[in-house]
Amino acid sequence: METKYLENWLRDAHAMEKQAEEMLKSQAKRLEHYPALRARIDQHLEETTHQSDKLERLMTELGIDTSALKDMGGKLSAFGQALGGMMAGDEVVKGGIASYAFECFEIASYKALIAAS
């Protein structure tokens, strides 16, 4: 495996976690009528921030910089998703579906990283 792929995938994973942080923050803000779901989202936000920090530490150890462009792209995507969700009457269910799909994407990304390392 070429090192450049591993480096790029780590940058992608970092941008993915930044996107997740933004998605979870905007979801949590709009769940005032769903306290149990909001608590679980807040818990996952904490896990996501922890994961993002772990990635940053690993990348620093390996001498790999994060990509400001990819991180910004992830945050912008999250902003677009949040805006789209606000228009829907069923935004809580749609948010749950989007979060489930995003978690599957995260799992696949980390499996690829594990296989490549």
Q: Which residues lie near Fe ion (CB under 5 A)?
A: 106
CB 59 within 8 A of CB 65: yes
Name the minimum Å distance from CB 4 to Fe ion: 26
Name the minimum Å distance from CB 3 to Fe ion: 26
Name the minimum Å distance from CB 42 to Fe ion: 13
By beta-carbon proximity to Fe ion, the closer residue of 17 and 85 is 17
By beta-carbon proximity to Fe ion, the closer residue of 7 and 106 is 106
Name the minimum Å distance from CB 111 to Fe ion: 14
By beta-carbon proximity to Fe ion, the closer residue of 3 and 29 is 29
By beta-carbon proximity to Fe ion, the closer residue of 3 and 58 is 58
| DSSP character string of 34-89 | -HHHHHHHHHHHHHHHHHHHHHHHHHHHHT----HHHHHHHHHHHHHHHHHHHT-T
Buried-state track 68-106, b at ≥16 Cβ within 10 A, e below 16? eebbeebbebbeebbeebeeeeebeeebeebbeebeeeb
Residue 36 is encoded by which pair of tokens?
A: 């149990």
